[in-house]
Amino acid sequence: MASSKGGGMEKMSVEQLKAIKEQTDLEVNLLQDSLNNIRTATSRLESASTALHDLSLRPQGAKMLVPLTASLYVPGTLDDARKVLVDIGTENDG
């Protein structure tokens, strides 16, 4: 970036170098957070895909527990495994 103006990093002051390092660190942290969010979303989608596959193998009328929250399940009966509601991405992790 500075080399395009005819100078180089070797001609920058310590303060300028520190500012560049801080900006770079912020950008790296932002990218790392984004990557972690993508990995979390990927994991949730894979879990949902597995659950849907397992659900499709069950016969109509099968008894099951239906999750209302992460820790609350109620008894239910499978009506049609081809028509399900999948809720992904609404949980607040932080």
pLDDT of residue 18: 95
Would you say residue 14 lies in a domain? Answer: yes
For 56, residues 6+ apart whose C-beta sits below 8 A from its C-beta are 81, 82
Would you say residue 21 lies in a domain? Answer: yes
pLDDT tier, 44 (very low <50, low <70, confident <90, very high otherwise): confident
pLDDT of residue 88: 66
Number of domains within the chain: 1
Would you say residue 44 lies in a domain? Answer: yes
Shortest CA distance to 80 belongs to which of 62, 66, 67? 62
pLDDT of residue 89: 61
Query: Average pLDDT of 58-66?
Result: 91
Would you say residue 34 lies in a domain? Answer: yes
Shortest CA distance to 21 belongs to which of 11, 7, 35, 9? 9
For 64, residues 6+ apart whose C-beta sits below 8 A from its C-beta are 58, 75, 76, 77, 78
pLDDT of residue 67: 84
Would you say residue 80 lies in a domain? Answer: no
For 66, residues 6+ apart whose C-beta sits below 8 A from its C-beta are 73, 74, 75, 76
Would you say residue 83 lies in a domain? Answer: no
* 20 against 6, higher pLDDT: 20
Would you say residue 26 lies in a domain? Answer: yes
Res. 58: pLDDT tops 80: yes
Res. 5: pLDDT tops 80: no
Shortest CA distance to 92 belongs to which of 70, 68, 74? 70
Find the domain containing 30 and state its range: 2-59
